[in-house]
Structure 1
Amino acid sequence: MTDQKPSVLFVCVHNAGRSQMAAGYLRHLAGNAIEVRSAGSMPAEQINPVAVAAMREEGIDITAEAPKVLTTEAVQASDVVITMGCGDACPFFPGKRYEDWKLDDPAGQGIDSVRPIRDDIKGRIETLVGELLGKQ
């Protein structure tokens, strides 16, 4: 039995919407049981304010987060790498679990369009937490 907690890296191009919402949910649902990272291949200047508003409706505050550039080190340090439409920009390492979540990009969309994306992410995160922490 290892004390090392699983780590998850969420990657999307701008690290401003989908990956930030996913990271926010994972931190909220898993607490400190899972290490959470997010990054983008071309990070935006700031997080999408509509993504922030959509998460606030769920009682999750992601305003302190900032888009970060994707590094090889972040991928190497993660057990699970979840991409959200960043294509070939993500380095591949053997032995990692990779998933690509097909999600609409919330960039430039209103809150009514972002809510279903948020809710889709929430469901996927709940499944992921169950898989990683053995809570079926």
Structure 2
Amino acid sequence: MPVTLTTAEQLQIRQAAERLRRQFSGQLNTETIERFITSSLDALVQEATTSIWIPLLAERFARDRLRALVRLESDAAATLKPSVLFLCVHNAGRSQMAAGWMRYLAGDEVDVFCGGSEPAETVNQAAVAAMAEKGIDIGSEIPQPWADEIVRAADVVVTMGCGDACPVYPGKHYLDWEVEDPSIKTVDEVRSIRDDLEERVRGLMAELEIPARV
């Protein structure tokens, strides 16, 4: 059964909608922005077990979908910076760590997205701790689903363990990384996964001809 938002949470949604309207003003029309906000909220409410993170997650999910839509509708697609989508089952460990590495190493040179086929409620804390040791904060991230617009807008789609649940679109560059699942591992065990992902992300950046900042 869908969760019900409190009055305060409904206010937060309206405030988030206003921020998104300002951010994408001049790129997308108001009707499109509002439609994406509403559909993002509806999708999350249907699956959520608690409403506490809904306003923040709905804003982030809608923002990612709108960013993707801007890419899809751009008349200068050939000149856009590359975009990479990292996918795993729960968007709580591997995909969040990979996205964290890409943002850290590439900065603003790559549009980074991530998502899961069955998003968890929170990011894996061992993954958060392991990444923090490298100066990368993924603790403020919240697992979210993937969306059609985001997959279609990505130049590269990296899948990790989501198998048949991961979306497949013709013409996309797909990479299937065999990376251990950190879901039941300790911080000590997750460090090797973290380092494996760093090496893979650096390799992908080299393929995309994006220099690493560090």
TM-score for the superposition, normalised by structure 2: 0.61
Quote how far apart the aligned CAs of 1:134 are: 5.1
Other-structure match for 2:206:
130
From 168, 177, 188, the equivalent of 1:112 is 188
**Structure 2 contact 109–210 (Cα < 8 Å) conserved:** no
Distance 1:6 1:33 in 2: 7
Matched, 1:71 2:147: yes
Quote how far apart the aligned CAs of 1:135 are: 4.7
Other-structure match for 1:53:
129
Distance 2:183 2:189 in 1: 10
Structure 1's 134 and 47: CA in aligned 2 closer, same or farther, altered over 3 A?
closer
Amino acid at match of 2:84: V
Amino acid at match of 1:55: M
Other-structure match for 1:24:
100
From 143, 148, 166, the equivalent of 1:90 is 166
Distance 1:7 1:85 in 2: 21
Query: Deviations 1:81-116 (Å, cap 9, x if unpaired)?
Result: 000010011121111100100011000110111000
Range moving further from structure 2, 20-29 or 1-10? 1-10
How many residues are matched? 136
User: Structure 1: where are the runs of 5+ without partners?
Assistant: none
Structure whose residues are more often helix by fraction: 2
Amino acid at match of 1:127: G
Distance 1:79 1:42 in 2: 23
Other-structure match for 1:43:
119
Distance 1:68 1:106 in 2: 18
Amino acid at match of 1:94: P
Secondary structure of the residue aligned to 1:31 is helix
Percent identity between the aligned chains?
A: 56
Other-structure match for 1:3:
79
Query: Deviations 1:19-47 (Å, cap 9, x if unpaired)?
Result: 00000000000000000000000000000
Quote how far apart the aligned CAs of 1:51 are: 0.4
Who wins on radius of gyration, i.e. which is larger? Answer: 2
> Over the residues paired in the alignment, what is the CA RMSD in angstroms?
1.5
Quote how far apart the aligned CAs of 1:7 are: 0.3
